[in-house]
Structures are given as structure tokens and as C-alpha cells.
Chain A
Amino acid sequence: METLTLMKLVFDTLLAGAILFIAYKTLTCKDLFQAIVFFIVFGLLISVAWGRLGAYDVAMAEVVIGAGLTGALLLSALVKLKKMHIY
């Protein structure tokens, strides 16, 4: 029982640190394509956090809409910007 509580604490701490680090990298890295890929990874990590919080329906909606659909929209907009030679 004691080890289970400790493992939960370690998992929560690692997950929270990873979410904050990926969010920081999303907003500060130089390349825009890299930023979008970091944003998709951020959506997946936050859906793991929602599974940990017990909100499974929110996790499903986030992983489909927040990570998948938003990532596709952002990538298509970036491709349109690059076709206009604006960067």
C-alpha cells in the first residue's frame, strides 16, 4: 500500500513536470513546425492527466479533438503560409 502511494506520487509529479516542460517548449522553440508537433504531444499528455483524474470522457474528447483535429488544422495552415512564402 505504501509503495502504491509512492508510485502514484512519482507518476503525478513526472506527468505534471512533463506537461509544464512541453508547454514551455511549445511556446519558445524557434521552428514553427516543431512548435506544432510539441503542441500535439502536449494534447496527448493532458489527456493522460485527465485519465488520471478520472474524467475518461474528457480524455477521449481531448485526444480526438484537441490533439488530432487541432494538429491537422494547424499543420494545414502552416503549409498555406509556406506556399505564400511567408514565414
Chain B
Amino acid sequence: MNTLLLYPLTGIGLFCIGLYALILQPHLLRKLLAINIMGSGVFLLLVSLSLPGISVQQDPVPQAMVITGIVVAISATALALVFMIKIAAKTGKAELSNLEKE
């Protein structure tokens, strides 16, 4: 077995852990961390499947896409943090599960 096959499996595991926590954790900051970890899992899968040991030859396009994706991810994170602070200032809570009852 090629040892580099470990990294796609790690990416799939990261995506699953992030999805689990995104559904179950009520706090908004924790949900944001979960989305970031899911994104990292997808990036790891995308880069590690384009390696020369696994595919035929190394492809530079996925690496460029991943760099773009990292920048988009941080801008989306900053926007979501501003939304979270607005929600906390308006409702007094930073959790999503208690918002539905009121």
C-alpha cells in the first residue's frame, strides 16, 4: 500500500468529524470551527489525490484552486464572525438551538 493513501483517508475523516460537530454543537463559534475543518478536509482530499504517486503525473491546477479556496474560506469566516456578533448583540445568546423557542 502506498503510504500517501493515508492523506485522502484523513481528509474524509476530517470532513466527517466536521459534519458531526456542525450538526450537534449548539454554539455558533463552534459551528464556524466545524465548517473550517470540513473545508480543510476537502482541500486535503483535493491536493493528495493529484499526487504523482496516485494519479499519472502531478497536476498544478488543484494546488492553485486550494490556495484560492483558503483565501475565500477566511473571508467567509470573517463575514460569519460579524454575523455572530450581531446575533449575540441582538438576542443576548450566541447559540442557535435556543433561538427557535423564543
Interface positions, chain A 33-85, Cβ under 8 Å from B, are 35-36, 39, 42-43, 46, 49-50, 52-55, 57-58, 61-62, 65-66, 69-70, 73-74, 77-78, 80-81, 84
Question: Could you tell me how many residues of chain A have their Cβ less than 8 Å away from some Cβ of chain B?
Answer: 43
Q: Is the CB of A39 within 8 A of B85?
A: no
Question: Could you tell me how many residues of chain B have their Cβ less than 8 Å away from some Cβ of chain A?
Answer: 45
Interface positions, chain B 82-102, Cβ under 8 Å from A, are 84-85, 88-89, 92-94
Q: Which residues of B contact A (CB under 8 A)?
A: 3-4, 6-7, 9-10, 13-14, 17-18, 20-21, 25, 27, 29-30, 32-34, 36-37, 40, 43-44, 47-48, 51, 58, 63, 66-67, 70-71, 73-74, 77-78, 81, 84-85, 88-89, 92-94
